[in-house]
Amino acid sequence: MIVTLIIICEVGFWVLLAAGLALRYWAKMPRASVAVLLCEPLLEVLLLVVTAIDLKNGAEPDWKHGLAAVYIGYSVALGHYTIKWVDVRVAHRFAGGPAPTTPKYGAARAVHEWKLAARWVLAALIAMALLQGAAWYVGGDGETASLRMWQQRMLWLIGINVAIAATYTLFPKKAPAAAAGKEREDTPSRL
């Protein structure tokens, strides 16, 4: 049942996102759009409540409960970012909005990657906390190996994201020479 609910929540996330953006850009109903997009967190609350009830009713914690915790962590830490990311692209493509701006080079790209890594670290920490809560709830008598396995995966997720951000800091990508030359031409001389 938990896996089905996770799938329903994931599909529901994208359906609500599409409906909210359609109301905003095609139906020109921004208030209705906001109302629909504000329903997104209700999916996570529903999943959390059902997962807790499932454990309360004596279900052995397994990979499904761990996956639910990871999904909730992602939604809390990266849900708003994902909505904004999609919104900018839909606005640009269908509503004449400005082009998305993601830094591609140098320190600006490194800062962007560290911010993204921080979001992933937060998602992993939230998932780990929920998993720890579930392990404590089950107690020493229950089987918690699958929950511990998910916690280890979250540590890997943190390590991978920090490593990616660090590479952008230690080895920043340089702008192509043609773009750098164009920037120099656009800069007025001081003579």
- Angle between helix 63-94 and 2-25 (nearest 10): 10
Can you give the pLDDT at residue 191? 44
Mean pLDDT value across the chain: 87
Distance CA 20, CA 33 (A): 4
Percentage of the chain modeled with pLDDT above 70: 91
Q: What pTM does this model have?
A: 0.80
Distance in angstroms (rounded) separating the CA atoms of residues 59 and 115: 37
How far is Cα 159 from Cα 155, in angstroms, rounded to an integer?
6
Using the predicted structure, report yes or no on whether residue 181 has a pLDDT greater than 70. Answer: no
For 4, list phi and psi in degrees, rounded to 5. -60, -40
Does the pLDDT value for residue 141 go beyond 70?
A: no
For residue 183, pLDDT beyond 70? no
Return the domain boundaries, the chain.
Answer: 2-172
Mean pLDDT for the stretch of residues 1-21: 88
Per residue, the 3-state secondary structure of 133-175, as one string, reads HHHHHHCCCCCCHHHHHHHHHHHHHHHHHHHHHHHHHHCCCCC
For residue 31, what pLDDT is reported? 92
pLDDT for 56-78, tens place per residue?
777 777 788 888 889 899 989 99
One-letter amino acid for residue 99 of the chain: A
- How many Å apart are CA 33 and CA 47, to the nearest integer? 23
CA gap 115, 110 in Å, rounded: 9
CA angle 74, 154, 130 (to 5 degrees): 65
27-56 residue pLDDT tens: 999 899 999 988 888 888 888 788 878 877
Residue 104 · residue 173 · CB < 8 Å = yes
Among 109-113, 161-165, 183-187, the minimum mean pLDDT is found in 183-187
Q: Is the pLDDT of residue 182 over 90?
A: no
How much is the average pLDDT of 122-150?
86
Closest CA to 7 of 64, 58, 91, 59: 64
